[in-house]
Amino acid sequence: MAIGRRRRLARNGLYVAGLSPAAFLLALFFVGPALWALASSFTNRALVGIDAANPRFVGLDNYARLFGDPDFGRVILNSVIFVIGSAIIGQFVLGLALALLLDHAQRRGFLATNLVYASVLLAWVNPTIIAGFLWVAMFDFYNGSLNTGLHQLGLGPVDWLGKGPMLAVIIANIWRGTAFTMLIFLGALRTIPSDIYEAARVDGANAFRRFWDHTLPILRPIAALTLLSVTMATFGTFILIQTLTNGGPAFQTEVIALYAFHEAFQAHAVGYGSTIAVVMLALNLSFAIVFLRWSRARA
Amino acid sequence: MTALAAGGEQVAARTTAPPAPRRARRAGPIEWLLVHSVFLVVCAFFLIPFLWLLSAAFDERASAYIQWPAAPTIMNFVRIFTEHDFARVLANSVFVAVATMVLVVFAVSLAGYSLSRLDLRHKDWITYAVLLLQTMPISATMVPIYGLARQLGLRNSYLGLILIHAAIELPFLIWLMKGFFDSIPRHLEEAAWLDGRSRVRALFEIVLPLARPGLGIAAGLAFLSAWAEVLMVVILIDQDNLKTVPLAFYEAMRTQGGYTEVQYGVIAAMAVVYLLPVMVVFFGARRLMIRGLMSSTRGL
């Protein structure tokens, strides 16, 4: 028994050694920054000037400032609108609809199915900064493809990035992210054998009935998890919005990640920027814990 | 991370999805028309930006409007190499992405295997901790990473960039690889130990060759992620000779006096070159990459 335990320890020792390179990197770039942000959020650390060299401990001042900051209220509101518009309504609903459509079309043997599938996927795999660039061009007021197209339909030009910037970034993010939900639901739908639908049809069930009885039960368990992971991914959106609007005009698209960036790097208030980052991490952690609980409950 | 909380095993078990069983009940003409008109709208939405990109890249006088180039030319591609020093930028990017890939494959094969074989009572806690890290958006840790990197002297150094790029991909890939190693029976390596091989040799000679598909996914995703990642490059690199493609792209878009003066043709040519490796890696191993990417999506 004693020998067995010693051998087990010895063997685990090797495994712990095997984990160490990864653990070192994770500690340095995940845990380290989180702790650094937490520590800095209690200081007036700055990027330049006297406070850059000798940050002073300021207690909860940054948090008091943050929760009294009307800009921050606006930022949270923007983030919520962005997440609801682009993740929950856009990517989730559109992705689900596309998955149902493509699954149906594939069962029918329509050849164009693969083309549609690939085009949705293409928007998803390209680097974010290219997505930003493409939509800067699409939304261009004078020459953009969208306004030129509208003009040919006899409609006036729309100042996408000036008058409706939130709608514009939401459209761009839907374009970019819909493939993810679509793939998850397509994967689930493929597990339903066609025979079930055939049998239901023979029994006289209409399309709605077949969907309700056979499709929905397959989709429901993964829907919540998908929704939550889409929400988490969207909550952290930065590059796409920065290239399109950089938070503007007039703060209309300033989401939480951009606000932290601007406070730290443009207002040079690293302490305050870290405070925003801490709040963001806390929110994300709470999403993640809910996510893990749900996925464990499923397993 | 995703709904595929049990995805590692799934990937290991079947790297190719079974084809949907097809029974061609013929569709009526009305249904055909309806489905295809929706298809047309969807394709237009998702493809028009790319069609514009191609048209602009081959047009010296490209504008934001999608149009067939009056005189198709490759001058834009010539100019990015002659005027914008793009060859060096590309070489830098390839170096960073390949180095990241090598480091990631090394770290995740060790960590995934160890986590799979570790014999602890609360081992699942480690797995969940790794999953929690996976959900941390780097846009939230960007400010502290900048501060930390400055204090550690990791700014304007590829070492810092490569370490960070590797770290970003680790949580998900460790978890993915653990699934792969879980599906490889222990008795194979135990037999090798009895033959007198050391633990390390057994890992390299017996276990890793069996995990090759998983290592392929890990390598592909690490390369793609390092190739596409822009946030860390923007905050860590500001020397011209260290510039990588995403940074060159970022600067080309920002420094041209507002978006009205953007040289669309040149930037579009850069974008096409930037996209090529993504297309090759992704469509070269589409099934594998999709399975992998689906489980790794994160906000950028």
What are the pLDDT digits (tens) for A239-296? 899 988 888 788 889 999 999 999 888 888 888 999 999 999 999 899 888 887 877 7
Residue A129 lies in a domain: yes
- Look up the domain containing B43 and give its range: 28-73
Given a cut of 50, whether residue B13 has pLDDT beyond it is no
Determine, yes or no, domain membership for A28. Answer: no
**pLDDT (0 to 100) of residue B106:** 94
Mean local confidence (pLDDT), B155-181:
90
Same domain, B68 and B92: no
Interface of A with B in 32-91 (CB under 8 A): 32-34, 36-37, 40, 45
What is residue B96's predicted lDDT score, i.e. its pLDDT? 95
Mean pLDDT throughout A200-213? Answer: 80
In a shared domain, residues B111 and B33: no
Q: Is residue B39 part of a domain?
A: yes
Residues B169 and B245 in one domain: yes
End position of a domain, from candidates B73, B106, B139: B73
Residues A130-170 pLDDT 10s: 999 899 888 887 778 888 888 888 887 888 888 889 999 99
User: Does residue B15 fall inside a structural domain?
Assistant: no
Last residue of a domain, one of B9, B39, B73: B73
Q: Which residues of A touch B174 (CB under 8 A)?
A: 22
Residue B256 and residue B288 in one domain: yes
Q: Are the beta carbons of A190 and B253 separated by less than 8 Å?
A: no
CB within 8 Å: B5 and A104? no
Tokens standing for A221? 């368990």
Query: How many Å lie between the alpha carbon of A63 and the closest alpha carbon of chain B?
Result: 17
| Chain A touched by B42 (CB under 8 Å) | yes
A150-A90-A294 Cα angle (round to 5): 175
> Does residue B22 fall inside a structural domain?
no
Q: Is residue B157 part of a domain?
A: yes
CATH of the domain at B224: 1.10.3720.10
* Confidence band for A192, pLDDT divided at 50, 70 and 90: confident
Which chain B residues are closer than 8 Å to A182 by Cβ? Answer: none
Residue A209's domain is classified under what CATH number?
A: 1.10.3720.10
Is residue B233 one of the residues assigned to a domain? yes
pLDDT of residue A97: 93
Whether pLDDT at B16 is above 90: no
Q: Give residue B292's pLDDT band: very low, low, confident or very high (50, 70, 90).
A: low
Exposure of A285 by Cβ count < 10 A (0-12 exposed, 13-18 middle, 19+ buried)? middle
On whether both B139 and B238 belong to a single domain, the answer is yes
State the average pLDDT over residues A218-236: 84
- The rounded distance, in Å, linking the Cα atoms of A215 and B145 is 45
Name the pTM for this structure: 0.85
- pLDDT band of B297, cuts 50, 70, 90: very low
Number of DSSP helices (H) and strands (E) in chain A, helices first: 17, 0
Which chain B residues touch A126 with a CB distance below 8 Å?
228, 275, 278
User: Is the per-residue pLDDT at A7 higher than 90?
Assistant: no
**A5 occurs within a structural domain:** no
B107 and B237 belong to one structural domain: yes
Tell me which of A179-193, B112-126, B250-264, B266-280 is least confident: B250-264
**Res. B68: pLDDT tops 60:** yes
The CA distances from residue B152 to A25, A56, B13, B145, in Å, are 14, 20, 42, 10
Average pLDDT over residues B292-297: 56
Q: State how far residue A16 is from chain B, nearest Cα, in angstroms.
A: 7
Give the ipTM: 0.85
pLDDT tier at B185, thresholds 50, 70, 90: confident
Q: Are residues B37 and B157 in the same domain?
A: no
Task: Output the CA angle A299-B2-B5, nearest 5 degrees.
Answer: 25
Q: What is the pLDDT of residue B252?
A: 80
Q: What is the DSSP string of A232-278?
A: HHHHT--HHHHHHTTT-STTTT--HHHHHHIIIIIS--HHHHHHHHH
> Same domain, yes or no, for B138 and B178?
yes
- Shared domain for B192 and B262, answered yes or no, is yes
First to last CA, chain A: 34
Task: Indicate yes or no: CB of A19 within 8 angstroms of CB of B170.
Answer: no
Q: Which residue has tokens 């739908």?
A: A189
Output the average pLDDT for chain B: 81
- What is the Cα–Cα distance from A294 to A220, expressed in whole angstroms? 13
Q: Domain for residue B13, yes or no?
A: no
Number of DSSP helices (H) and strands (E) in chain B, helices first: 15, 0
Q: Which residue has the higher pLDDT, B193 or B19?
A: B193
The domain in which residue A104 lies consists of 71-298
- Which residues of chain B does A198 touch, with a Cβ-Cβ cutoff of 8 Å? 23, 25
The predicted structure's pLDDT at residue B7: 37
**Per-residue pLDDT averaged across B202-220, rounded?**
86
Instruction: Say yes or no: B143 and B202 in one domain.
Output: yes
Residue B26: pLDDT band with limits 50, 70, 90: low
Measure CA A146 to chain center. 25
Task: Give dist(CA B119, CA B171) in Å, integer.
Answer: 20
Burial class for A214, CB neighbours closer than 10 Å (0-12, 13-18, 19+) = middle
Has residue A298 got a pLDDT over 50?
yes
Confidence at B261, pLDDT banded by 50, 70, 90: low
Chain B nearest-CA distance from A153, in A, is 15
> Are B122 and B201 in the same domain?
yes
Contact present, A127 and A138 (Cβ < 8 Å): no
Whether residue A86 is contained in a domain is answered as yes
Distance from CA of A245 to the nearest CA of B (A): 11
A101–B43 C-beta distance less than 8 A: no
CB-based contact, B248 to chain A, within 8 Å: no
Rounded Cα distance between B228 and B223, Å, is 9
Number of domains making up chain B = 2
Which chain B residue shows the shortest CA-CA distance from A176? B46
Say yes or no: B41 and B99 in one domain. no
Quick check: A184 and B4 CB within 8 A? yes
**From B31, B48, B271, residue closest to A145, measured CB to CB:** B48
Whether B173 is in a domain gets the answer yes
| Structural domain count of chain A | 1
On the question of pLDDT at B300 being above 80, the answer is no
- Mean pLDDT of chain A, nearest integer: 86
Apex CA B51: angle with CA B50 and CA B54, to 5°?
Answer: 85
Q: Where are the alpha helices (DSSP H) in B58-182?
A: 75-82, 86-117, 123-134, 138-151, 158-182
